[in-house]
Amino acid sequence: MSYQVLARKWRPRTFSQMAGQEHVLRALCNGLTSGRFHHAYLFTGTRGVGKTTIARILAKCLNCERQGITAEPCGECSACQEIDQGRFVDLIEVDAASRTRVEDTRELLDNVQYAPARGRFKIYLVDEVHMLSQHSFNALLKTLEEPPPHVKFLLATTDPQKLPATVLSRCLQFNLKRLPAARIADYLTEILAQEGIKAEAAALRRLGYAADGSMRDALSLLDQAIAYGADAVRDEDVREMLGSIESDFLLELLEALAVQDGRALLDAVARMAERGADFSAAIAELLLTLHRLALIQSEVDALPDELSERDRLQDLGRRLTPEDVQLFYQIGLVGRRDLPLAPDPRTGFEMVLLRMLAFRPAAMAPIAPATQESAAQPQPLQSQPRSGAAVPSGSNGVREQGGGPQDPTYSASESKLKLSAESPHTLEDWHAVVESLPRGGMVRALAGHCLWLGREGDLVRLRIDSSHAHLLNPGIEARLCKMLSDQLAQKLSLRIDVGRGEGETLMQRDRDRLEQRQRAAEAAIENDPNIAALQEAFDARVIPDSIQPSED
């Protein structure tokens, strides 16, 4: 007996065997059970999600000889079996892509008036109906609006936007959704269990992602994976078959970005190139990894327990800020779009990573006022060190005095004194509390833009300017309240008003200090005799954007 591909062998024969599309199946089953069924159905959705499969099952539901009109056809009568085998005389399947002419449509409709040869209904299943010409649609309209009682139209399309509104208005429309990768993987697991083929869960998850929402594509890829792995589905084989990038490479790239190590970044790309990596696929998988990191940082436990790289992902989620992850994702999206424009794929991929490195946001640390003596020399444009990073010896900046959390001389005991259960009482106390919160993320951003109004017992009252009211969010406010309660070792409640207030927020204070240091640095460069001598001797000029206050 010849081999039958999985996509055909495991094609659902009843609605109960369908994977997903519950919203469509529920409506169809209820209509069939109550006898309220339409004369024209339109099924829309991307390839391989079950449009024609549902249409054929519906044809069995309408023509089952044993059960009558039912949501559960028997599958054993001659009508059900002939429909499954594609030879039921009263099920006329038409490929609109190959029969676009108006003459074809008229020829098809000439037989509509005749009663079905042996079934209960004569059913016209028109696939890719959007391919019909405008004249063909015009020829179809009258029959579609008032068909004989023994005729049903089942239309399927991947592009409903191309259908005339006059056709759409005459059909009961169902939009089939892309199937989630996890649902596809579960279905593949069930199939392989019945086929008696061993498979690794990670391999099936990879196939689920590669199928891009299409169950038919997933089954075709599964067929290929079984052949590639000699009747076993292993993750390593599937990765090689799909040209996927090893997760170790992706994590290595992100770890290099976390420590801003450009050399390690390029070394990893070189090793990927030696393995013949598909750099377009590499960007796609890097985006998936960044999505997982964003879920981790949003406190969503979205990682399967058996995921081998789970611990490394969780560590990266702590080392990168949410701003980092979001920026990297956006840069990756743009880079994936522009990759065909690069001189070659590797160059384009390297530039995406270097862009992530160059534009990684620098955290704002508390900055002390600077004088001309504390200003830095002009520097080439480069990514800024993260807060708390070591500063090279010999820098001209002055270390901030004042015992902030970023100051090495600031001890934990001093922090506890400031953050006792009796504080904060003043705006300065509130600034100290905000500085003690973890850097990065929406909670710190919200607190940094809030003014201190006071405490009324256990109620903490804050105010935020209307220009930053978009930061207000019940979830973020609840997390801020919890952090404050933990910091002050006291159960607190929180109220944030919107409006203008007296005083300076921590973000305003830090921004003002940064601007003050910038002006002092520019003045120091302008008055530096060495710089003046270079300008005179070489007709040089100072690029204002290259002047940066040194950090210490």
Please, what CATH class does the domain formed by 181-242 belong to? mainly alpha
pLDDT of 297-325, one tens digit each? 876 555 655 455 777 888 888 888 888 89
Using CA atoms, how far residue 124 sits from 52, 55, 118, 143, in Å, is 12, 10, 15, 12
47: tokens are 């390839």
Q: Does the structure show a pLDDT above 50 at 380?
A: no
- Name the average pLDDT for the chain: 80
Cα separation, 40 vs 152, whole angstroms? 6
Give residue 551's pLDDT band: very low, low, confident or very high (50, 70, 90).
low
- Residue ranges per structural domain of the chain: 6-175, 181-242, 247-358, 413-552
pLDDT > 70 in the chain, percent:
84
Q: Does the structure show a pLDDT above 70 at 390?
A: no
Q: Which residues contact 135 (CB under 8 A, 6 or more apart)?
A: 102, 105
Q: Per the omega criterion (within 30 degrees of 0), is the bond before 424 cis? A: yes
535: tokens are 């300008």
Among the ranges 155-169, 350-364, 384-398, 482-496, which has the highest mean pLDDT value?
A: 155-169
Radius of gyration in angstroms for the set of CA atoms belonging to the chain, rounded to a whole number: 33
pLDDT of 102-114, one tens digit each? 777 887 788 888 8
Please, what CATH class does the domain formed by 247-358 belong to? mainly alpha
Where helices occur in 126-278 by DSSP H, the ranges are 134-145, 165-168, 181-195, 201-210, 215-228, 235-242, 247-258, 262-274
Q: Does the structure show a pLDDT above 90 at 86?
A: no
SS (H, E, C) 390-444: CCCCCCCCCCCCCCCCCCCCCCHHHHHHHCCCCCCCCHHHHHHHHHHCCCCCHHH
Q: Does the structure show a pLDDT above 90 at 546?
A: no
**Residue 137: which of 117, 110, 116, 162 has the closest Cα?**
162
Cα separation, 552 vs 537, whole angstroms? 32
> Tokens 């070189």 — which residue?
270
Give residue 485's pLDDT band: very low, low, confident or very high (50, 70, 90).
confident
Q: Report the range of poorest mean pLDDT among 377-381, 468-472, 496-500.
A: 377-381
Q: Report the range of poorest mean pLDDT among 122-126, 391-395, 487-491.
A: 391-395
Task: Report yes or no: 70 and 64 within 8 Å, Cβ to Cβ.
Answer: yes
Using CA atoms, how far residue 51 sits from 71, 222, 253, in Å, is 17, 21, 41
Q: Is 194 exposed, middle or buried (0-12, 13-18, 19+ CB in 10 A)?
A: exposed
Q: What is the DSSP string of 232-273?
A: EE-HHHHHHHHTPPPHHHHHHHHHHHHTT-HHHHHHHHHHHH
Helix axes 235-242, 201-210, angle to 10 degrees: 20
Give residue 425's pLDDT band: very low, low, confident or very high (50, 70, 90).
low
pLDDT of 43-74, one tens digit each? 999 989 999 999 999 999 999 999 899 999 99
Using CA atoms, how far residue 79 sits from 14, 68, 125, 201, in Å, is 14, 11, 16, 39
Please, what CATH class does the domain formed by 413-552 belong to? alpha beta
pLDDT of 163-187, one tens digit each? 999 899 989 999 999 998 889 999 9
11 vs 312, higher pLDDT? 11
Among the ranges 325-339, 465-479, 530-544, which has the highest mean pLDDT value?
A: 325-339
275 vs 61, higher pLDDT? 61
pLDDT > 90 in the chain, percent:
27
Cα separation, 413 vs 436, whole angstroms? 13
Residue 285, classed as helix, strand or coil, is helix
Paired residues of 40 in beta bridges: 153
Q: Does the structure show a pLDDT above 60 at 22?
A: yes
**Residue 436: which of 483, 479, 399 has the closest Cα?**
483
Domain 6-175 belongs in CATH node 3.20.20.100: no
Q: What is the mean pLDDT of residues 463-486?
A: 85
Rounded to a whole number of angstroms, the distance between the first and last alpha carbons of the chain is: 78
Residue 171, classed as helix, strand or coil, is coil
The amino acid that residue 217 corresponds to is: D
Q: Does the structure show a pLDDT above 60 at 449?
A: yes
Task: Report yes or no: 496 and 468 within 8 Å, Cβ to Cβ.
Answer: no
Please tell me the predicted confidence (pLDDT) of residue 393.
33
Please tell me the predicted confidence (pLDDT) of residue 409.
34
397 vs 236, higher pLDDT? 236
Q: Does the structure show a pLDDT above 70 at 136?
A: yes
